[in-house]
Amino acid sequence: MKLFTKPLNVDDFRRWQEMWPKDWTLRFISLVLAVVLWYFVGGDDTVDKNVMVPLEVINLPRDLVISNQFKREIEVTVSGPRSLVLKIEKGDITRQVDLGHAVAGTMVIKNENHLIPVPRGMKVLRTQPDSIIFSLDKLIQKQLEVKPETKGSLASHHILQEIVMKPETISITGPQAVLSQLSFLQTQVIDISGMDKPIQLQVPLDLSTALLDLIGETSVTADLVIVEETVEKRISGVPIEMDIQGKARRITPTSVTVTATLPRSLARENKELHSLFKATVIDGGDEGQMTVRVVPRETTLAPIEIVKVEPPVVTFTEEKPEPLPPLPKLDEIPPKK
C-alpha cells in the first residue's frame, strides 16, 4: 500500500511550511504547562475533609497571662484538591490569635472561616469550635514558704526536734487570681513511722493543677532532725582535775555534783555516769576561790547538756614544800676511815 501517490515537490513543502504557525514553539510550551497544571490542580480529586489546625497565640502583653485551659487545636472542614489537603494535615498552617490589645478579663475570639489561612484553591467550610474563650489575668510574683506535712510516730523515746526545708521559700510567677489565694506551699505527706535517727529526704510538693501548670512537678529537700528523749540526772562524785601553771594547790571540796540532761538510753546503760564528765577549775582572780568548769568528755559522743554544778566554786590553798632537814655541823661529821 502506497501512502503517497506522488512524491512531495518543493512547492508542496513550501505550502505546508506556510500553513504551520510561526510561533509554534511558544504554543507547544503553553500546551505542556496547561497539561501539567490540569494534572496537579484540575486533574486532582476535590475532597472535603476535617483537619486539625494548631492554635497560635501572638503578641500577649508581658503583664498578662492566660489563666484558663483552652483547646490548642481547632477542627476545620476544608474543601479542595487532595494534594493541598494533605499539606494542611502535615501542619503547614496555624490559626493565629493576636492578643496585642488584650486587657485583664474574659475575651471571646471568633473562629471565622476567613481567618484560617488555607492555600489558594481551597475553601474553609466550617470551624469547630466556632469561638475560643480566654481568661486573662494580671501576672504577679509571690514568695511562698514551704511547710512539711508528716504522719506516723517515731521510734519509742524519740522526738522530731525540727524539719529544715531546703529551700525554705519558693518564688512563683503566675496569675493573680491563683497566687493571691496561697499563703504557703505544702509538701506531700512524709511518713516518719519508726524513725530513730536524723535523715535527709527528697519530698515532692503537693500542688494543685493550676500550680502544676505554672512550675511543674517540684521537689524539695527535708532535713529531719530526730533525737532521743533526754532525762535529767543528778550525778555526784565527779572529781575535779587541777593543775594550774604547774602550781600544786589543795582544793576543797575535791569533787562536785553535776545536774545534766542526757539521752535516756545513755542514762539507762551507763552506771558510772560521773565518768562521762570532766571537771576542772578556772582561776577567777578571787583570793582563795576558783570557778568549777564541767564539760562532757571528748569520748562521749551523745548530746549532753550541763544544767547545774554544785558547788560552783571551790576554795584552795597553795601547798608549801616541806623544809629540807638541816645540814650536819662539821664537828659532827665522822672522820673517814
Which of 93 and 285 is assigned the larger pLDDT? Answer: 93
The residues, ordered by sequence, that sit 6+ positions from 142 with a Cβ below 8 Å of its Cβ are 171, 172, 173, 174, 179, 182
Q: What is the mean pLDDT of the chain?
A: 83
For residues 162 and 83, what is the distance between their CA atoms, to the nearest angstrom?
68
Pairing outcome for strands 158-166 and 64-66: unpaired
Q: What are phi and psi of 152, to 5 degrees?
A: 90, 175
The pLDDT score that the predictor gives to residue 29 is 77
The pLDDT score that the predictor gives to residue 134 is 92
Q: Nearest to residue 201, comparing CAs of 180, 214, 187, 213?
A: 187
Does the pLDDT value for residue 1 go beyond 50? no
Is residue 243 very low, low, confident or very high in pLDDT (cuts 50, 70, 90)? Answer: low
Q: Name the range with the highest mean pLDDT among 80-84, 221-225, 316-320.
A: 221-225
**How many Cα atoms sit within 13 Å of 284 on the Cβ side?**
15
The pLDDT score that the predictor gives to residue 21 is 60
- What structural domains and CATH numbers belong to the chain? 46-129 (2.170.120.30), 139-228 (2.170.120.40), 230-318 (2.170.120.30)
For residues 309 and 312, what is the distance between their CA atoms, to the nearest angstrom?
5
How much helix, strand and coil, in percent to the nearest 5, is found in the chain? 20, 45, 35
Give the residue-averaged pLDDT of 94-102.
91
For residues 149 and 254, what is the distance between their CA atoms, to the nearest angstrom?
52
